Amino acid sequence: MSTVVNRIPPQSRDKRLIAALRGDVRERPPFWLMRQAGRYLPEYRALRGQAKNFLEFCYTPDLAVEATLQPIRRFHPDGAILFADILLVPDALGQAVDYRDGEGPVLSPVTGPAAVDRLGLDGLHDRLAPVYQTVRRLADTLPEDVALIGFAGAPWTVATYMVEGGSSRDHATIKRWALGEPESFQGLIDLLEIATIAYLKRQIVAGAEVVQLFDTWAGVLPEAGFRRWCLEPVARIIAALGRDYPGVPVIGFPRGCGVLYRDFARESGVAAVGLDGTVPLAWARDELQTISTVQGNLDPQLLVAGGAPMRDAIDAILAQLAAGPLVFNLGHGIVPDTPVDNVLRLAEQVRDWRSESVG
């Protein structure tokens, strides 16, 4: 007999974020911000100083719970995103992962099938157990109107860091492998797909009410590569989650995929597509919002700039997209030099919005 139960409590349905992901339109859209916890907050920098390194920070539930809650206290968004990182999965698969100040993540590169064979799923849940504990504690402590968002990196984006050994300017190494020897590269994507499904299922069991798949580097592939390495793995992950947890919406964020956003919205099974800051608003309204909820898409540098340019850009997003299902967000994560006051103004402006065409 299946032991799978849908742990989404009935009250989730009344949360503004969950309602928008089901396609509801209320008098104002929900909002949260990618990377809402991070170095732009002085209290985050203080907390970060308590951990030996960033991995230990993510794997210490006391610290990760606190980091998740910091932006909730300041800005009262409609969603709280679990504090963790997309590179915990390679770490839990057995790859050496290190974060260096000013340098970003550094990984021992996975350069071919032999290196993939040295990774494995055996230690996955043991290593990630503190993350599940963080989710459980958040589910117990969040304000009742705030939805808990779990997440993982999508296989392609996680693979870029695994193969390039960190951040990359041109993704030359992974593209040569994926595009030149697709059958060999498929093994790495298959492993990441299985790990991601297992990881997200545990987050859901622990209390995540929504999950987001971050595909930050979806935009660097040609069309056929985008379909095979981004759209199809994400679609299989969403189908697998849907079989056990049909009530849990998935947000996909295939950053930079341009007109392919439409195929992604149609074919992946997402409840919402996360739009980067370059997606035209009228196109999103006519071509995407007719298929799914949309999330986005203020350019993070407008949040740094503040003032009238930010105010007008927020108004434009709301004017074009808030009459349909929308989750207000940025087009990418908050950057470290963002003034906290600008985030407060953004939150106020979205919270004060009242759509004239609704209610």
- Of the candidates 83, 80, 79, 97, the residue with the CA atom closest to the CA atom of residue 39: 83
Q: Which is nearer to ligand CP3, 216 or 289 (CB)?
A: 216
- Is position 228 annotated as part of the catalytic site? no
- Is position 39 annotated as part of the catalytic site? yes
Asked if 307 touches ligand CP3 (CB under 6 A), the answer is no
d(CA 37, CA 114): 37
Q: Which of 39, 137, 266, 311 is catalytic?
A: 39
- Is position 161 annotated as part of the catalytic site? yes
- Of the candidates 196, 162, 212, 183, the residue with the CA atom closest to the CA atom of residue 330: 212
Determine how many CB atoms are found less than 10 A away from the CB of residue 227.
Answer: 16
Strand order in the sheet with 326-330: 79-81, 147-153, 210-215, 250-254, 272-274, 293-298, 326-330
Q: Which is nearer to ligand CP3, 81 or 178 (CB)?
A: 81
Q: How far is the CB of 212 from ligand CP3 (least distance, A)?
A: 8
Q: Which residues contact 19 (CB under 8 A, 6 or more apart)?
A: 13, 26, 30
Q: Which stretch binds ligand CP3 (CB under 6 A): 36-44, 203-211, 302-310, 320-328?
A: 36-44
Question: Are 251 and 17 a contacting pair, CB within 8 Å?
Answer: no
Pattern 101-140, ligand CP3, x by CB under 6 A: ---xx-----------------------------------
Q: Which is nearer to ligand CP3, 152 or 197 (CB)?
A: 152
152 residue type, one letter: A
- Is position 266 annotated as part of the catalytic site? no
Residue that has been written with the tokens 């989750």 in this structure: 327
Out of 22, 26, 39, 311, point to the residue binding ligand CP3 (CB under 6 A): 39
Determine how many CB atoms are found less than 10 A away from the CB of residue 247.
Answer: 14
d(CA 277, CA 61): 33
Question: Are 32 and 80 a contacting pair, CB within 8 Å?
Answer: yes
Asked if 200 touches ligand CP3 (CB under 6 A), the answer is no
Q: Which stretch binds ligand CP3 (CB under 6 A): 85-93, 264-272, 277-285, 317-325?
A: 85-93
d(CA 15, CA 20): 9
Q: Which of 85, 190, 244, 263 is catalytic?
A: 85
Q: Which is nearer to ligand CP3, 23 or 54 (CB)?
A: 54
Q: How far is the CB of 216 from ligand CP3 (least distance, A)?
A: 3
**Contact positions vs ligand CP3 (CB under 6 A):** 34-39, 48, 54, 81, 83-87, 99, 104-105, 151, 167, 214, 216, 333
Instruction: Provide the annotated active-site residues.
Output: 35, 39, 48, 85, 161
